[in-house]
Amino acid sequence: MPATLLDSEIFRDIFGTAAMRRIFSDQARVQYYLDIEAALARVQAHLGIIPANTAVEIVRNCHAEKFDMAKLEAATQRIGYPVLPVVQQLVALCADGLGEWCHWGATTQDITDTATILQIRDALALLEQDLAAIAAALASLARRFRDTPMAGRSNLQQATPITFGYKCAVLLSAFHRHRARLAELRPRVLAGEFGGATGTLASLGADGLAVQQALMAELGLAQPEIAWHSVRDRIAEVGCFLGLVTGTLGKIATDVKLMMQTEVEEVFEPFAAGRGSSSTMPQKRNPIFSAYVHAAAAMVRQHVAALLDAMVADHERSTGPWEIEWIALPEIFLLSAGALAHTRTLLEDLEVDPARMRKNLDLTGGLVVSEAVMMALGPALGRQRAHDLVYEICRDVLAGNGTFLDLLAAHPEIKPHLGRAALARLVDPANYCGLAGEMVDRILAAHAPPTRKPA
């Protein structure tokens, strides 16, 4: 019976995805083990290390559906690791004792680590699709709203104007970097493990490195330069990468939540009847996608810390830190998949209200662009005097002594340098978005999928 939200029949597709669960399921994990055992048998038969007929028989039985999962569970409980019970069942399935040649020269951690790398490879391929889709959605929003003015915010207060396209382009630039990181980490991370007891391949003698090279080629992984049984930076790097990705997703979710507030209402999550409704307040439309993204991103960060703990391993084969990865890594991938899926849907169908953005921008009657007036007066009055003068006028506006434009136009120090028409242009927030449009164009010009490096 499922006990966690990641396996719950009710919550599992909120906090994860079916495709990612399949990769980290018991059935899939056993099949990854068997894929490695089959590849090892083929390679060793080809190199003349084991008899050719044994490889045929071993490969014939390397199918997870032939395995008794209840027996596997019981044996794993007794032994402490699942690989040996898998090998025991494989040996029993093979006819004429030929299965005794399986797992030749390998150790439990070789199979476990290499299976983990195969899971990571397939899981990253899934996540890459969502990264590309999110980047495409942000590019579309940046292009569509390139010149749509809105209030930039600092410390939750209106700062100077930006455009909504600029806001989206800033996020798009992060996804360009995430996709580049993914391309860069693959060659480092997607290397298998095959070293025997302490990594020296002593059990295979002079054939060890040849078997290792051929096995990795068979599996489509890079050959490790040396054993990494207790040096876990590969696994930790993947976790840190997903911590960075979900951190950006959490930033998106936070901004959407804030922009959905009743007092703001500049964007909304995609509408579906009843979604986000309250049991007591019929008027509410809560930011559901964003809430789940926020929660998932927070949990990924905690699990990343656990993976970093798992790096502190003892000697050549560790006692305990390795098992941390078994708990943390699947949950990192599942939570990341859920957060990416929610963010993708959110951005692809985001509701944007440019009129409300403009209304909010006009709330201060031009005070939001007081910097523009100060900078325009600076050459004539000096920057400090211009600052102090505009500051005093802003205080008068806030005290209810007149509008910003009227007080500026009537001030005797300002009249000789700026007329009312020029001041009206200065206090229009749409005229003070700086080079937002040009920056959007630069990010959009760079919007192309990174070249994938071979593993």
Same-domain pairing of 328 and 446: yes
The domain that holds 388 is classified in CATH as: 1.10.40.30
Structural domain that includes position 401: 367-427
Same-domain pairing of 283 and 303: yes
Chain centroid to CA 154: how far? 25
3-state SS assignment for residue 151: strand
Catalytic residue among 278, 420, 442, 452: 278
- The answer to whether residue 317 is catalytic is yes
Q: What is the pLDDT along the chain (455 residues), one digit of tens a residue?
A: 777 888 878 888 888 899 999 999 999 999 999 999 999 999 999 999 999 999 999 999 999 999 999 999 999 999 988 999 999 999 999 999 999 999 999 999 999 999 999 999 999 999 999 999 999 999 999 999 999 999 999 999 999 999 999 999 999 999 999 999 999 999 999 999 999 999 999 999 999 999 999 999 999 999 999 999 999 999 999 999 999 999 999 999 999 999 999 999 999 998 776 565 555 666 667 888 999 999 999 999 999 999 999 999 999 888 889 999 999 999 999 999 999 999 999 999 999 999 999 999 999 988 999 999 999 999 998 999 999 999 999 999 999 999 999 999 999 999 999 999 999 999 999 999 999 999 999 999 998 655 555 54
Within-domain flag for 66: yes
Same-domain pairing of 75 and 207: yes
Catalytic residue among 143, 153, 285, 317: 317
Same-domain pairing of 98 and 247: no
Same-domain pairing of 297 and 383: no
Within-domain flag for 46: yes
Same-domain pairing of 138 and 98: no
Same-domain pairing of 90 and 156: no
Number of independent structural domains in the chain: 3
Same-domain pairing of 182 and 323: yes
Same-domain pairing of 211 and 302: no
Within-domain flag for 5: no
Same-domain pairing of 205 and 348: no
What's the pTM value of the predicted model, to 2 decimals? 0.92
The domain that holds 16 is classified in CATH as: 1.10.275.10
The per-residue pLDDT for 455 is 46
The domain that holds 311 is classified in CATH as: 1.20.200.10
CA distances from 393 to 362, 379, 401, 408, 417 (A): 17, 19, 9, 7, 16
Same-domain pairing of 270 and 309: yes
C-beta of residue 239 within 8 angstroms of C-beta of residue 328: yes
Same-domain pairing of 30 and 130: no
Instruction: Name the DSSP class of 222.
Output: B
Q: Which two tokens stand for residue 168?
A: 């989206």
Within-domain flag for 361: no
C-beta of residue 194 within 8 angstroms of C-beta of residue 211: yes
